A and B are shown apart, each in its own frame.
Chain A
Amino acid sequence: MRLGKARERTHTKPFKLSNEGKWGILMISPYLIHFIVFILFTMFASLYFSFSHYDMLNAPQWVGLENYTKLVNDTVFWKALGNTVYFTVLFVPAQTILALILASALNQQLRGLKLYRMAHFIPVISSWTVVLYVADAIFNPRFGLANDLLLKLGMQPQQWLNDEHLVIPVLVVVAVWKGIGYMMVIFLAGLQNVPEDLYEAADIEGAGVLQKFRHVTIPLISGTTFLVLVLSTITTFQAFEQIYVMTGNSGDITAAGGPDNSSMVLMLYLFQQGFAFLKMGYASAIAWILFIMLFIITLIQVKLQNKWVHYEK
């Protein structure tokens, strides 16, 4: 009976690619191969490692859920998670709002406009090392401008990166400065797509500048805003280089994340556990938690976009 059925199926036309389909596959094959070898394969490898003890120097040993149960009781992990969320909560709105304001300002017909735009884009293309030299000139507790200013205002100098409560806000300020130019350019593209006649119509209705911004600009660039929000969230969850360099001692990975782990974020913790302490299994577990969190957050953002993002039909 079953056999018959199977034979029957062979009579139906086998799945066959059209000529066009074959070409399509051929065309995307460089990416497809790259995806399978360097992304899919490594993802499954890291999933496997996350269930094992793996010190890189010896073969991984399967330990089931041990890494994950250990994470639950790891106070530094929770602290790193909290810091990551804190960093994101400060960074994403600050960067988005400031980038939008900046983009609106630079969307005017001004003299030397290109120069202003370029000036804001320079930190984006500079390496973190360069940016951090500038940051150090400001936030260095002994020689920095920030403390000079505080002293001139008659206030107490601060330990900036060495203060448990200040370190993340300071890192966020620097990160916003570095990243704002990029988001500004995305916003500029969005702003320039807003049809001029809508503003003209609003003018006829007698709308002021703020009203036009509120009722014309914001709804029409909501798609762009959404993109900026998703991109910023993802980059902050992956923040690593900045914190590694700004809080570590001359590139010593084990020294970064201080003081007292108050700037330890998930990516840094992952790297430290994996590469400095050879706990690749544990690091893989952290990576998967990070992946799942980012996936959920992005999913929520996508779901919520129906409520506020407006696409032109």
Chain B
Amino acid sequence: MAFILVLAGCSSKDDKEASATSDGSTTEITLGFYSSGSADEKMNELIKKFEEQHPDIKVKTQNAPYQQFFQKLDTQIAGGNAPDVWLSDGVFVQKYAERGAAKDLTEWINNDLNKDDYYGLDFNKDSDGKYWAVPQGIQIGALFYNKDMFDKAGVDYPDDSWTWEDLKEAGAQLSIDSTGKTANDSGYNANSVKQYGLTFFNITEGWMPVLKSYGGGVLDEELRNSIVDSPENKEAVNYIVDGMQRGIFTDPSDLQAFQSPMAPFPSQTAAMRIGIYARALAANETGVNYDVTVLPKGPDGKRFSPVIANSWIISNSASDEKAKAAWEWIKYWVSEDEVQKEWAALGEAVPVKKSVANSDLFLDSGEKPDNKQAFLDSFDFAGTLDVNAVWSEWVKKFGDNIDRAFLGETSVDDSLEQADKDVQKVLDEFYNNQ
């Protein structure tokens, strides 16, 4: 209650300031965002407060569920009637930037934002140093573990000393088949696993963090060439395949059995998962007794935490006036403490503003997981998912190949060799045509 009063006080003060500076004319901007249930209401509230603070700006919203939103957005951009500012999944920022649909925000960010105050600005920076978007909320990976399962198996909780090998060893003790044997017992049936050590899904919460902490990865620093066929990647993928074959990690066919591949951890079928921050929502909903810690180290002590910075993009075709108004919205979003706090309270993302993320409101919200500090600590070794203009396409090519190795249909060497060729072809097709 006090919080709301403070907020009301704040905005009424700003009101006066804003109306004092405005010249009476209003600018209308269109703001697009993908919906996610309860967050919509909060978004509309924040937009309303923004309009109160900025009487010279009117905001028209456009929203739709995730898949439809992006399909519609692409056709809108094609038709020349894109929203002036929109919320993009972090992995799509470069898709828009490199195709000329996003406005270069470098100058505005340099002038108006103190970069040290925010998490994740650099995750939207391209290899030329240009900024294309400003984070709306940050997803960063950590290791989720089910405390009850660890207690029952008598295994120590994971901590920051763990390597991926430690994870597999603990995972073996936590994997149980339908007859009650663990993965360390002889006669363990890897085909009828009742409880997995680690659930493993796709790129962000699957192979990418492992590959990178083993010193490998998919693309080089310029994000123009494949580095898939490397000894580091082979070691990493061998580690994963071994875990799957021994029935400690879920393989792609195991995941098929769940209505959603996200389900094994919240439904308590897996003791651990690599999870981004938003996965806390589902785990909290089902009441899992869990906590998080930083992701394990690779063999040489290297760590990697995957980041997706969902971000605001200003349309490159917005008029100067509308772009400026849109920039006001972005500044309001990232720099206003109250906005950051209200959004953080939804528990969907790590706040962009460091002061809010490091406050009790985020760290000590009363919701699980207790060790939210692990997410913030992970920024020290965080990186993007080698995001570039053709991200979805090379992920598909890499995924198709690597899944064959995961399912034991082809050798690790062969699948990486083929993936290397396929990924390079996707990159060449796009960048050689530029």
List residues of chain A with CB within 8 A of the CB of B202.
249, 255
A219 within 8 A of B: no
Nearest Cβ on chain B to A271's Cβ, whole angstroms: 10
Flag if B261 contacts A249 (CB, 8 Å).
yes
Nearest Cβ on chain A to B300's Cβ, whole angstroms: 32
A311 within 8 A of B: no
Contact of B392 among A143, A250, A277 (CB under 8 A): A277
Nearest Cβ on chain A to B195's Cβ, whole angstroms: 13
Which of B202, B258, B393 has the most chain A CB atoms closer than 10 A to its own CB? B393
Task: Annotate B231-263 by CB proximity to A: 1 below 8 A, 0 otherwise.
Answer: 000000000000000000000110111111110
Bound form: Cα–Cα A140–B77 in Å: 40
Flag if A251 contacts B78 (CB, 8 Å).
no
List residues of chain A with CB within 8 A of the CB of B99.
55, 57-58, 278
Contact of B74 among A56, A259, A260, A261 (CB under 8 A): A56
Flag if B261 contacts A250 (CB, 8 Å).
yes
A116 within 8 A of B: no
Flag if B252 contacts A162 (CB, 8 Å).
yes
Nearest Cβ on chain B to A45's Cβ, whole angstroms: 11
B103 within 8 A of A: no
- Do A260 and B253 contact each other (CB < 8 Å), given the known contacts A56-B78, A57-B74, A58-B99? no
Task: Annotate A252-277 by CB proximity to B: 1 below 8 A, 0 otherwise.
Answer: 01110011110000000000100111
Flag if A57 contacts B100 (CB, 8 Å).
yes
Q: Of all chain A residues, which has the CB nearest B316?
A: A57
Residues of A140-169 contacting chain B, CB below 8 A = 140-143, 159, 161-162
Flag if B67 contacts A259 (CB, 8 Å).
no
Task: Annotate B387-405 by CB proximity to A: 1 below 8 A, 0 otherwise.
Answer: 0001011011001100110
B71 within 8 A of A: yes
Flag if A57 contacts B261 (CB, 8 Å).
no
List residues of chain A with CB within 8 A of the CB of B390.
277
A53 within 8 A of B: yes
Bound form: Cα–Cα A136–B256 in Å: 10
Flag if A276 contacts B433 (CB, 8 Å).
no
Task: Annotate B403-420 by CB proximity to A: 1 below 8 A, 0 otherwise.
Answer: 110010100000000000
Task: Annotate A221-261 by CB proximity to B: 1 below 8 A, 0 otherwise.
Answer: 00000000000000000000000000001110111001111
List residues of chain B with CB within 8 A of the CB of A255.
202, 399
B95 within 8 A of A: yes
Bound form: Cα–Cα A55–B257 in Å: 36
- Do A276 and B261 contact each other (CB < 8 Å), given the known contacts A56-B78, A57-B96, A161-B256? no
Nearest Cβ on chain A to B200's Cβ, whole angstroms: 13
Bound form: Cα–Cα A275–B78 in Å: 12
Q: Of all chain A residues, which has the CB nearest B82?
A: A57
Contact of B95 among A53, A141, A261, A278 (CB under 8 A): A278
Contact of B260 among A140, A250, A258 (CB under 8 A): A250
List residues of chain B with CB within 8 A of the CB of A140.
257
- Do A57 and B433 contact each other (CB < 8 Å), given the known contacts A143-B257, A250-B261, A260-B404? no
B26 within 8 A of A: no
List residues of chain A with CB within 8 A of the CB of B403.
258-260
Which of A136, A258, A277 has the most chain B CB atoms closer than 10 A to its own CB? A277
Q: Of all chain A residues, which has the CB nearest B75?
A: A56
Nearest Cβ on chain A to B68's Cβ, whole angstroms: 10
Q: Of all chain A residues, which has the CB nearest B74?
A: A56
List residues of chain B with CB within 8 A of the CB of A56.
74-75, 77-78
Q: Of all chain B residues, which has the CB nearest A247?
A: B256
B101 within 8 A of A: yes
Flag if B256 contacts A141 (CB, 8 Å).
yes
Bound form: Cα–Cα A143–B267 in Å: 14
List residues of chain B with CB within 8 A of the CB of A258.
252, 400, 403
Which of A159, A251, A259, A261 has the most chain B CB atoms closer than 10 A to its own CB? A259
Which of A250, A258, A278 has the most chain B CB atoms closer than 10 A to its own CB? A278
Bound form: Cα–Cα A126–B399 in Å: 33
Nearest Cβ on chain B to A7's Cβ, whole angstroms: 48
List residues of chain A with CB within 8 A of the CB of B262.
250
List residues of chain B with CB within 8 A of the CB of A142.
257-258
Bound form: Cα–Cα A277–B71 in Å: 11
List residues of chain B with CB within 8 A of the CB of A254.
392, 395-396
List residues of chain A with CB within 8 A of the CB of B67.
251, 253
Nearest Cβ on chain B to A79's Cβ, whole angstroms: 11
Flag if B392 contacts A259 (CB, 8 Å).
no
Nearest Cβ on chain A to B104's Cβ, whole angstroms: 15
Query: B-contacting residues of A (Cβ < 8 Å)?
Result: 53, 55-58, 136, 140-143, 159, 161-162, 249-251, 253-255, 258-261, 272, 275-278
Could you show 12 A-B contacts with beta carbons less than 8 Å apart? A57-B100, A58-B100, A136-B259, A141-B256, A159-B253, A162-B252, A249-B202, A249-B260, A250-B260, A255-B202, A276-B392, A277-B393
Given A57-B74, A260-B409, 18 other A-B residues pairs in contact with their CB atoms under 8 A: A56-B75, A57-B78, A57-B99, A57-B101, A58-B100, A136-B259, A141-B253, A141-B256, A159-B253, A249-B260, A250-B262, A251-B67, A254-B392, A259-B253, A272-B396, A276-B393, A277-B390, A277-B393
The 4 A-B residue pairs with the shortest CB-CB distance, nearest first, are A142-B257, A56-B78, A162-B253, A57-B99
